[in-house]
Structure 1
Amino acid sequence: MRATRDPMPASRTALRRNRGLKARQTGRAAEALAALWLMVRGYRILAFRSRTHGVEIDLLARRGGVLAVVEVKARGSLAEAMEAVTPVQQARLRRAAEAVCGRPGFEGLSVRLDLMALAPGRWPRHVPNAWPDSWPAS
């Protein structure tokens, strides 16, 4: 006789839901801080949490002839934030950037993949062209 698996207890479900809500709130706050940081440095924010081809771009920013597809990561330390983007995520960002390049109004802009790393008690760290091997796509 095969044992059936009990559904997740309500208390564990509530814990997971609360953890997910807190993560979303932290992420949105990190994106807002990253946007402010970039604006102070002369970037114009074109989009927050833009979805293209099933991929969410945290921030789409422009300064001069550069269009930055910005991934925002908030972690316990800057080092953790900098290492948080996996090669699979980098590939998704590259595909999203390729899709954005095809939109009207973005012709002739240099596109790059940037990282904004945030950690408690530290200044945000902007890493332009964070994954040079990921862009441009071959």
Structure 2
Amino acid sequence: MDNKVLGNKGEQAAATYLTQHGYRICARNFRVPVGEIDIIAERDDVLAFVEVKTRRGLRCGFPAQAVTYYKQQKIIQTARWYLRQRHLEDRCLCRFDVIEVYVHSGDKWEIRHIPGAFET
């Protein structure tokens, strides 16, 4: 399985996880000129902008470590676009989450959700 397919499956697993945990998926792969957000989901009047990182192992470190300061800034800018487009500035609570998806042998997936992984 190549990295693109792995990433897509990881995002689907993350979306399923969020739905099973009471989130409503508002958007997936939201793209604007400044960047992309994998999943935007809402629960309990909080809008979560979620970056999904899928890995086969820990050889390169924990998946959340790949969400660098530069990547965080791109996600924050993209979130601002989303909020402006929907006239939600100052109207809802927001946070930035990371979901780590680990692929184990066979078809076993492990998910680690990190709410509030970084802040603006």
Q: Is TM (by shorter chain) over 0.5? A: yes
Larger radius of gyration: 1
For 1:99, the equivalent position in structure 2 comes to: 81
5+ residue gaps, structure 1: 1-20
* TM-score, L = length of structure 1: 0.74
Q: CA deviation at 1:28?
A: 0.5
Identity percentage of aligned residues: 33
Q: CA deviation at 1:104?
A: 2.3
Give the whole-Å Cα distance in 1 for the aligned partners of 2:43 and 2:52.
18
Q: How many residues align?
A: 113
Contact 2:34 2:77 in 1 (8 A): no
Q: Within the alignment, does 1:44 sit opposite 2:24 as a pair?
A: yes
Give the whole-Å Cα distance in 1 for the aligned partners of 2:41 and 2:25.
4
For 1:60, the equivalent position in structure 2 comes to: 40
Moved over 6 A (4+): none
* TM-score, L = length of structure 2: 0.84
Q: By percentage of residues, which structure has more helix?
A: 1
Q: By percentage of residues, which structure has more strand?
A: 2
5+ residue gaps, structure 2: none
Please report the RMSD computed on the Cα atoms of aligned residues, expressed in angstroms: 1.9
Contact 1:52 1:96 in 2 (8 A): yes
Q: CA deviation at 1:53?
A: 2.9
